[in-house]
């Protein structure tokens, strides 16, 4: 399955297509805070920060410096256009983090790990930059506990893709344990991603998810045809919600 280059097209639509409703963003930050070390301020790494949808909120919540590390230049440029005190964006990746040893209290890895080829190298790098007692928050899907996401009803091929590209939980835990990162918990999080099916459809049509790069054009057309029919049939708009997992790991003190 080919790699996705976010600098080709995704950087132009990602911020709009993947924007979270304000309430959902706030809820995610509250979830992060619940699993973060209790001390404040915290130095935070947003690993694979993309267009910076979380970095300002992380700075506001945790009060310390926040580094957004992103390998794609054009994605990073979108984030840098919205300056925020305490936030610095850096060129880097999960296997090459441009920060010193023991420099972070919290590392957020939000829908990123499935793009990383070498999980062992990433685990070692994350452990290197974490301080003892620091935590890693990994928002991901895991095929061995896959939720029923809304778009699977319209694009059945996406479920098959997700089962191939996302890491399974037990091997991942073993890999991260080898780097000294112990399992704390995995939490199932319910999030609102759109206020109605029509809004959900409009955002999907921006094709801001890298998954669309892995579907055939025929699958995409068929999926949106089915989704358009569902939008027309919706008499009373209802919020669209989906579930995902947040895995919490901790570096031994």
Report whether 4 contacts 48 (CB < 8 A). no
Give the model's pLDDT for residue 14: 61
If phi > 0 it is left, if psi is from -120 to 50 it is alpha, else beta; for residue 28 that is alpha
* Coil, strand or helix at 89: strand
| Dihedral angle computed from the Cα positions of residues 189, 59, 112 and 110, in that order, rounded to the nearest 10 degrees | 0
Reported pTM? 0.92
Distance CA 137, CA 248 (A): 5
Contacts of 103 (CB under 8 A, 6+ apart): 43, 129, 131
Give the model's pLDDT for residue 1: 47
* Beta pairing partners, 44: 66, 106
Distance CA 168, CA 108 (A): 19
In the chain the first and final C-alpha atoms are separated, in Å, by 39
Q: What is the pLDDT along the chain (253 residues), one digit of tens a residue?
A: 446 666 555 555 665 657 777 888 999 999 999 999 999 999 999 999 999 999 999 999 999 999 999 999 998 999 998 878 899 999 999 999 999 999 999 999 999 999 999 999 999 999 999 999 999 999 999 999 999 999 999 999 999 999 999 999 999 999 999 999 999 999 999 999 999 999 999 999 988 888 888 899 999 999 999 999 999 999 999 999 999 899 999 998 7
Give the model's pLDDT for residue 99: 98
Give the model's pLDDT for residue 20: 76
Contacts of 253 (CB under 8 A, 6+ apart): 132, 133
Distance CA 34, CA 16 (A): 28
Give the model's pLDDT for residue 83: 79
String of DSSP letters for 160-197: HHHHHHSPPHHHHHHHHHTTTEEEEEEEEEEEEEESSH
Distance CA 236, CA 176 (A): 45
């Amino acid at each position: 399955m080919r790699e996705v280059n976010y600098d080709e097209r995704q950087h132009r639509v990602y911020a709009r297509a993947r924007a979270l409703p304000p309430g959902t963003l706030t809820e995610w930050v509250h979830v992060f805070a619940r699993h973060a070390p209790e001390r404040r301020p915290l130095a935070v790494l947003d690993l694979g920060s993309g267009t910076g949808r979380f970095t300002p909120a992380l700075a506001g919540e945790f009060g310390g410096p926040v580094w957004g590390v992103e390998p794609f230049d054009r994605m990073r440029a979108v984030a840098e256009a919205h300056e925020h005190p305490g936030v610095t964006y850096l060129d880097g990746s999960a296997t090459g983090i441009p920060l010193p040893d023991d420099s972070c209290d919290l590392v957020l890895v939000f829908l990123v790990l499935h793009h990383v080829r070498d999980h062992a190298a990433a685990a070692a790098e994350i452990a290197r930059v974490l301080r003892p007692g620091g935590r890693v928050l990994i928002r991901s899907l895991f095929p061995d506990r896959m939720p029923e996401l809304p778009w699977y009803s319209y694009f059945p091929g996406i479920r098959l893709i997700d089962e191939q590209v996302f890491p399974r939980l037990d091997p991942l835990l073993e890999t991260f344990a080898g780097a000294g990162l112990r399992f704390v918990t995995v939490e199932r999080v319910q999030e609102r991603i759109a206020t109605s099916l029509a809004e959900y459809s409009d955002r999907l049509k921006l094709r801001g998810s890298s998954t669309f790069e892995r579907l055939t054009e025929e699958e995409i057309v068929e999926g949106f045809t089915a989704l358009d029919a569902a939008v027309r049939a919706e008499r009373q708009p209802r919020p669209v919600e989906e579930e995902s997992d947040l895995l919490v790991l901790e570096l031994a003190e």
